A and B are shown apart, each in its own frame.
Chain A
Amino acid sequence: MEAAVFAVFAATALGSAIAVVAHRNPVYSTMSLVLTLLSTAVLFVLLGSPFLAALQVLLYTGAILVLFLFVIMLLNVGRERRLPGPVPAQTWVAGIGAVVLFGATARLLLEAQGGRTTAPLSEEFVATRSLAELLFSTYLLPFEVIALLLLVAVVAATWVARRPSADEEKTP
Chain B
Amino acid sequence: MSPELVAALAKTGLWVFALLQVAPVMLWLERRAPAFMQDRLGPNRVGPLGLLQGIADAVKFIFKEDVIPAGADKALYLLAPALALVPALTTFLVLPFGPTVEIAGHRTALVVVDSDAGILLFLALASLGVYSLVLAGWSSNNKWSLIGSIRATAQMISYELALTTAVVCALVPAASMNLSAVVDYQRAHVWQFLTQPIGFFVFLVASFAETNRLPFDLPEAESELVAGYHTEYGSMRFAMFFMGEYMSMTTLSALGVTLYFGGWSLPFVDFSQFSGLVQALLGFGVIMAKVAFCLFFFIWVRWTFPRFRYDQLMRLGWKVLLPLALLQFVVTAALTVGGVL
A residues near B, CB below 8 A?
27-28, 31, 34, 50-51, 53-58, 61-63, 66-67, 69-70, 73-74, 127-129
Residues of B near A62 (CB, < 8 A) are: 123-124, 127-128, 130, 160
The one of A58, A74, A128 in contact with B150, judged by C-beta atoms closer than 8 angstroms, is A74
Contact of B157 among A27, A28, A61, A63 (CB under 8 A): A63
Does B146 lie within 8 Å of A73, measured CB to CB? Answer: yes
Chosen A-B contacts, 7 in total, with CB atoms closer than 8 Å, are A34-B131, A50-B121, A51-B117, A54-B120, A57-B125, A58-B123, A61-B127
Give the A-binding residues of B (Cβ under 8 A).
Answer: 73, 76, 115-117, 120-121, 123-125, 127-128, 130-131, 134-135, 137-138, 146, 149-150, 153-154, 156-157, 160, 176-177
Q: Which residues of A contact B115 (CB under 8 A)?
A: 50
Q: Are B116 and A61 in contact (CB-based, < 8 A)?
A: no
How far does the Cβ of A165 sit from chain B's closest Cβ, in whole Å? Answer: 20
Check A58–B153 contact: CB distance below 8 A: no
Nearest B residue to A129, CB-CB: B116
Looking at chain B's contact residues, the main secondary structure is: helix
Asked whether B150 lies within 8 Å of A57 as measured between CB atoms, the reply is no
A-B residue pairs, 4 tightest by C-beta:
A62-B127, A54-B120, A57-B124, A58-B124
- Contact across chains for B157 and A57 when beta carbons are under 8 A apart: no
Distance, CA A74 to CA B176, complexed state (A): 40
Q: For the complex, what is the distance from the CA of A61 to the CA of B138, rounded to whole Å?
A: 18
Point out the residues of chain A lying under 8 angstroms from B156, CB to CB.
66
Minimal Cβ-Cβ distance residue in B for A38 = B128
Q: A27-B138, A61-B128 are in contact. Are A66 and B153 (CB under 8 A)?
A: yes
Q: Which residues of B contact A27 (CB under 8 A)?
A: 73, 76, 135, 138
Among candidates A50, A58, A129, residue contacting B127 with C-beta atoms closer than 8 Å: A58
A51 to chain B, nearest CB (A): 4
Which residues on the A side are within 8 Å of B131 (C-beta)?
31, 34, 66, 69
For A128, give its contact among B116, B146, B149 (CB under 8 Å).
B116
What is the distance, in angstroms, from B112's C-beta to the closest C-beta of chain A? 13
**Known interface pairs A50-B115, A70-B150, A73-B138. Does A63 touch B121 (Cβ–Cβ under 8 Å)?**
no
Contact B153 A70 (CB under 8 A): yes
A53 to B121, CA, bound (A): 8
Within 8 Å CB of B124, what residues of A? 53-58, 61-62
User: How many angstroms between the C-alpha atoms of A31 and B135 in the bound complex?
Assistant: 10
Contact A57 B127 (CB under 8 A): yes
Q: Which residue of B lies closest to A58 (CB)?
A: B124
Set of chain B residues within 8 Å of A54, measured between Cβ atoms: 117, 120-121, 123-124
